[in-house]
Amino acid sequence: MLSPEIAVFFVVFLALGFDYINGFHDTANAVATSVSTRALSPTRAVILAAGMNFLGALSGTAVAKTIGSGIVAPEAISQAVVLAALLGAISWNLLTWYYGIPSSSSHALIGGVIGAGIAGHGLLCLKIGGVLKIVTVLVVSPLVGVLVGYIIMTALWWLFRRQTPHRINQLFLRLQVLAATAAAFSHGSNDAQKSMGIITLALFSSGLIPAMEVPLWVILACALAMAMGTAIGGWRIIRTMGGRIVKLEPINGFAADISSAAVIYSATIFGMPVSTTHVVSSSIMGVGVAKRLSAVRWAVAQQIATAWLLTIPASAFIAAWAYVIIHFVLGFRA
């Protein structure tokens, strides 16, 4: 049986592993449109995303506190629960990455915490109000992404309606670099904090820190892990996000990146975890709808939507079984 100290080490290791995987799984969120429109080369786009993800991860801890204390009652948290939650999230992330499906790392982690918590302590351990609030934001934010993408794209078409396509493309090839920078920063600001919350939860439940405040070393470690994962790239998902949903021109890529950055960072300010994958893909859909409904490849959009619906229950199911193995088969009860 593992000692509590070794258990915390495994939690930190897995949480940083989740952050690393999140980085290469969700790299497409920030760079796919820029690569698709050739505003940036793949190498430059990934380097930009890695650097801005790192800086974004240092920008606050409000989302981390929500993840750490808003889903499961503190007395129900054990190292076995946290380990199982991370295993559920990581397993689902790797599965969807392998098949090139842009699913949500946020949904996977939240589903993992829910599944492991229920397996260990039953439904009563859930903070229903907190879970409903988080799930509502996760569901509503893609709809907001569609709306904002549609509005910004429509406004840009109107503002530049008298310009030639060549002039518009040249202008927005440059502006899209700025939009991609904002998108990468917002991604890091929201997604890296989820692992911060999990590590802080493990440290607090084991008595290693006195309160649910994120230590500086946790912030730096999660920021670095996400940046390193981003630098690896996520080319399978980049192909899906960058060209299979909507055929993008530079003005479309700019509109999608600015829309998603605005939605994601607004959520970060209010401490709400959102799916950066869902917000980006829905913003791309909104931009496509502004062109015409037929511009969106709805079969691909349906595949993505199916992954949205499956992620929380699937990762919860995997995490529940992981808890059973950790707790009952391996006899780990910390």
- Asked whether residue 334 is assigned to any structural domain, the reply reads no
- Asked whether residue 282 is assigned to any structural domain, the reply reads yes
**What confidence tens digit (pLDDT) does each residue in 209-220 have?**
888 889 999 999
Crossing angle of helices 105-121 and 128-159, in 10° steps, is 170
Count of domains observed in the chain: 1
Nearest CA among 255, 237, 231, 214 for reference residue 300? 237
- Asked whether residue 116 is assigned to any structural domain, the reply reads yes
**What confidence tens digit (pLDDT) does each residue in 274-284 have?**
888 788 888 88
Which stretches in the chain have pLDDT values below 50? Answer: 242
- Asked whether residue 161 is assigned to any structural domain, the reply reads yes
Report the C-alpha gap between 170 and 261 in whole angstroms: 22
- Asked whether residue 333 is assigned to any structural domain, the reply reads no
- Asked whether residue 232 is assigned to any structural domain, the reply reads yes
CA 138 remoteness from chain centre: 10
- Asked whether residue 105 is assigned to any structural domain, the reply reads yes
- Domain range for 144 is 4-328
Residues in Cβ contact with 20 at an 8 Å cutoff, skipping those fewer than 6 apart: 225, 226, 228, 229
**What confidence tens digit (pLDDT) does each residue in 159-188 have?**
998 888 888 888 998 899 999 999 999 989
**What confidence tens digit (pLDDT) does each residue in 123-159 have?**
888 898 888 888 888 888 888 999 999 999 999 989 9
